[in-house]
Every structure is written in C-alpha cells, then in structure tokens.
Amino acid sequence: MTGSTASLFIQNKFKHSENLISVVVLAAMALLPVAEVFAREILSTSITGSIVTVQHLTLWIGLAGAMLAARDGRLLTLTGETAWLRNRFGQWIFLLPDIAAVGVTLTLAIASYDLMITERAFPRVIVGPVKVWMAQLIMPLGFGIVALRLFLKSNSRWAYRLAVTGGIIILTYLGLSLELQEGWAVYAGLIALVASAVLGAPIYVILGGVAILLFWNDWGVMAAIPAETYRIVVHPMLPTIPLFTLAGYFMAESNASTRLVRLFRAWFGWVPGGTPVVAIVVCAFFTSFTGGSGVTILALGGLMFPMLLKENYSPKFSTGLLTASGSLGLLFPPSLPVILYGIRSQTPIDKLFLAGILPGFVLILLVALWAVRQGLVLKSEPAPFRIREAWESFWAAKWEVAIPALILFGIFGGVTTLVEAAAVTVVYTFIVEVFVYKDLKLSKDVIPTMVQAATLVGGVLIIMGVAMGLTSYLVDAQVPSRALHWVQSHIDSKLVFLLALNGALLIVGALMDIFSAIIVVVPLIAPMGAAFGVDPVHLGIIFLVNLELGYLTPPVGMNLFLSSYRFSLPLPKVYSSVVPYLIILAFGVLLITYIPSITLLIPRLLGH
C-alpha cells in the first residue's frame, strides 16, 4: 500500500466513523424520549437519567455535526459563494479570513479544554459512572478537528499554510503582550473580523472572534465562552432542534413533497393563481418542520419552479415567489426559531406557537393575494376542483398530513413534553417514509439523510454556542441595561419604540442569521419591550416576523443566496425578484406589530 493510498484509506475510515457516531447519537436522542413516554404512560415508571442524557447528546451532535460541516465545506457564512473573488484576485485574498477562522477555532478548543479540566476537578454526575467532563470531551476535540480541517482546506500550497500559521503565531504573541491590552487593538481586531465576514469566514468565527476580543480586552477568562456554549446546548428544550430537523430531512428526502403538492393542488388549484398558491402553502408546511427555509427552497425549488414556468409565470416572478415562500412557515409548530426564542427569552413555547398561528396565516394570505393577482393578470386557467381527486390526494398523503395533529395532541394533550413530541415525530416519520411509503431505503438512504441532518444541526448549534458566549459578555458588561436606559431617555412613546424596533430588527435580519440573532439580540430587546408595556408573547412574534423578513433582505438574507444557488441565477437578479414580496411582507409585519390582537387573540381565547 503506497503512502497516498494509506492516507486515503485512513481518511475514509475516519469519515465513516464520524458518520456512524452522528447516526448513533441522533438515533439515541430519538429513541430515549420515546422509550420514556412508553415507560411513563404504559408501565407507570421512568428511565433513569434519560432526559439529562439526551441533553448531553445534543452537545455531542452539535460538535460532531460541526466537524461534518467543516469536512464538507458547509459551515454557514454570510456571503455565500466566494469563488468569483478567488478567480479575480487569487487565493491570497482569503489569507485574513483563513487566519481568523483557524485562530478563533483553536482558541475555542483551548478554552474548551480548560473548561473540561476545571469540570474534572469538581466532577458532576450525568448518569451512573458518566460525568459531565466526559461529555465535555467532545468540545476541545470537536473544535480542534474543525480548526485542523479549516487549516487543511485553506489551501493545498505549503507557502499559504505557512502564512496562515505565521499569522496565528503573531496574533498569539500580540495577545499575550499585556502592553497591547488597549482599545485600539480591539478596534483593529473587529475591523479584521468584519473584513473576514465579507470574505466568507464562517458565522461562528465572527461571533466567537468578537467574544474572544472583548473578553481579552477586559482580562476575562476565555473558558467563559465554551461554558456558555455548554449551558445553552444542554438546555432541556434544545434537543428539539436536532430532532425536528431530522424529521424534516426524512420528509425532504422522501417523496413527501410530491404527495403534498398533489394534495394542495387538488384543494387549492381551482383559485386564480392556483399553482403559485399551492407553492406558497407547501413551502410553509415544509418550513415549519425543517426549521429553515434553506431546506425548503432546495427540496421544493426543483419541483415547483418548472411547474410555474410551464403555466407561463415569468422566471422573475417564480424565483421571487419561491424565495419568499421559503420562510413563511417559521411561526407554525414545530418551528425551531420559535422554540429557540422561547428558550432564550423564557417565554412559554406553547403560548408562542398559539400566538403565531394568526400572524402566520396573515403573511401567507398577503403573499397568496399577490399570487392570485398575477394569475388574474396572466389569465391562467385554474384547475377544476374534483372531489375524487381531492379525496384521493388526501388519502395518499394522510400519514404526512397527520404529523401536525400528532405533535399538537402530544404537547397540548399533556401526553408528551416538547422534546418527547419531537422524538415521537422522528420515529413516526422514519416509520412512515421507510416502511409505509417505502420512499427511503433502510440500507442506502437513511444513514446519508441522518448525516445531512447532523451536518445542518452542527452548523447551527456551533453558531448558537459561540453567540451565547458573546451574549454572556454583553450581559456582564451591562449592555442591555445601558441600552434600555438610552432608549428610555430618547423614546417616550410605545408606538415610536415599536417602529424603531422594526427598523433595528430589519437591519439585524439583513446581517445575521435567525439563530445567532435570537441568542445575541433577544437579551437586549426583552427588557425594552417590558419597559414599554409590550406583551412578551407579542414581542416574540414581532421579533420573529422581522427576522423572517430578514431572510429576504439584501445584502446577506439567507434565502437570497440559497435561491441564487438553487436556480443558478446571479444575486442581483434574485434581489430584484424579491422586491414585491419584501414590500408585501413588510406591510404584514407592520400589521402584526401595531395590531396586537392578531397575535394575542388565540392565546386569550384558549385561556393562555
């Protein structure tokens, strides 16, 4: 066996091991809560340590998934594809973001090791002989492997790699030079991180780098960053994110989209603009389960785009419609941003889900009205409503249509917790797609689907973790209280505050992904909302619909990049296609903001 062959063999073995670990962890996260429900409801007993075990498995899937994302080049960035920069300016233009990415990740690995050593000195038990520090082993290991992969992927030329290494050594020396502990160094570092973000550095690197700079400037302990990462990732409700993501992937990788398109077309295709309306409804349904509009656009774009073009809708209209529709389901159960907002703001999640129903339908209705208008302008021929086809399409998709009812019954019927409902949903969708519809083959489809889900989860959770470290600094520095004092000093009207909040959140949504925005921004706005008498549930929906709008807002709205990739269009064309939808959804956001009853009617009717 030659050296290169042996190296390739080792790489493949390591890749298979990573995939297997991710699959086993996700499977355990799904099966343990289901077993707990069975034991509690049928056997009147419980499984010792199941809940806390699943929480710590979330930590493992977060870091293991981040390793997969780094391996496959899928760590989330703000700028999308940057190959054109490489082609125009050469590889050396990426030296700064590569130094930042490797340096910040190595710092997080070292800080995580310090946290683990501290925890080992005062061990806490998870279950049986398993201690917390053992679970935390994945943090320095995960960050270390991510750093190594970022280094190796930076460039194959050793001259470039030596330059990256040299840059990290210089930054380490400067960081240890106490006389440089001055404000100008922080400002220089922040400017470098902004430039790195523009050049495509991963989002977690920017947030983590800012946190590291601020802690360093205040002589803080770097282990506080991974400590906060650990704290948010093992939150009792956070396992819902990987679980619902996995359920969404099982649906996205099966033929569920085809069945649902047929269903909604049979029921709604008779209205003018029937096919666009169907696209809107199907996208909203999918997004509520996948937790991110990216999966929706990628899964449904290839199916719906040709259908729209076939009915003479223009490419511009079709692109804008699918780009906008990708985020329309974010307020409906079991939306992951709603869950995360509830965790971060300590707002009851069930109340947020109830409150989001009407605002979600308002946004869908507004976009659907625009689609109907386009249908009338084009004089498109609506499909006739046929009772037989409506029934047959419903029957064909009955197992997938039942999923929302299953979740709501479990949660509001008191049968399951939210995490248990997510686990039941995973097992249910697995059985339906593998054994009932037989769309996914157990031998060749299930494991790749679970690996894809783990990769997405890792890309999201690593952002949330380091964002929590940044938030910890902001809280320690009393930034929320100072911001509240400033707002109260300059704004004395609730209506003016809400308008300013909409503007600020629109900017946030244009510059940050929704998950990191929730972690960083919610602690800042929650006390402001309380000071101006805004209902905390209403504030949550205002926040989420603004961030939903942010998916479409240039320059870095996530849907814009995904549509550019999915439909092979330059970004300027995608920007222009979404302008009507930006205006429509902005109007919807204002309605939801200034008419609180849209949000609060259902919770009040149900006594929440």
For residue range 559-594, list pLDDT tens digits in order. Answer: 777 777 667 777 778 888 888 999 999 999 999 999
Cα dist. 377→495, 526, 586 in Å?
38, 44, 23
- Residue 540 has what pLDDT? 94
- Residue 324 has what pLDDT? 86
- Residue 87 has what pLDDT? 67
State both tokens at 350: 């069930």
| 378-400 pLDDT, tens digit each | 777 777 888 999 899 999 999 98
Q: Return all residues near 76 (Cβ < 8 A) that are at least 6 apart.
A: 69, 202, 203, 204, 459, 460, 463, 513
- Residue 178 has what pLDDT? 56
State the Cα–Cα distance between residues 348 and 344, nearest whole angstrom: 11
State the Cα–Cα distance between residues 608 and 604, nearest whole angstrom: 6
Q: Report H helices in 90-157.
A: 95-121, 132-136, 138-154
- Residue 84 has what pLDDT? 62
- Residue 463 has what pLDDT? 84
**39-48, 66-75, 343-352, 512-521: the lowest-pLDDT one:** 512-521
State the Cα–Cα distance between residues 213 and 184, nearest whole angstrom: 11
| 476-489 pLDDT, tens digit each | 777 777 877 888 78
State the Cα–Cα distance between residues 380 and 374, nearest whole angstrom: 9
DSSP letters along 161-179, please? HHHHHHHHHHHHHHHH-GG
**Position 331 pLDDT exceeds 60:** yes
**Position 293 pLDDT exceeds 60:** no
| 246-271 pLDDT, tens digit each | 888 888 788 888 888 888 888 887 87
**Position 88 pLDDT exceeds 80:** no
Tally of CB atoms within 10 A around 165: 14
What share of the chain has pLDDT > 70, as a percent? 93
Q: Are 199 and 96 in contact (CB under 8 A)?
A: yes
**Is the N-terminal amide bond of 123 cis, ω within 30° of 0?**
no
> pLDDT higher for 150 or 606?
150
The predicted model scores a pTM of: 0.84
User: What Rg, from alpha-carbon coordinates, does the chain have?
Assistant: 24
Residues, the chain: 608
Distance of alpha carbon 289 from the chain centroid:
12
| Mean pLDDT value across residues 166-181 | 77
**333-347, 389-403, 464-478, 593-607: the lowest-pLDDT one:** 464-478
What share of the chain has pLDDT > 90, as a percent? 32
Please, which pLDDT band fits residue 6 given cuts at 50, 70 and 90? low
State both tokens at 343: 């965790």
Please, which pLDDT band fits residue 8 given cuts at 50, 70 and 90? confident
Amino acid at 28: A
Please, which pLDDT band fits residue 60 given cuts at 50, 70 and 90? very high
Please, which pLDDT band fits residue 288 given cuts at 50, 70 and 90? confident
Amino acid at 104: V
Name the nearest CA neighbour of 142 among 196, 76, 193, 71.
71
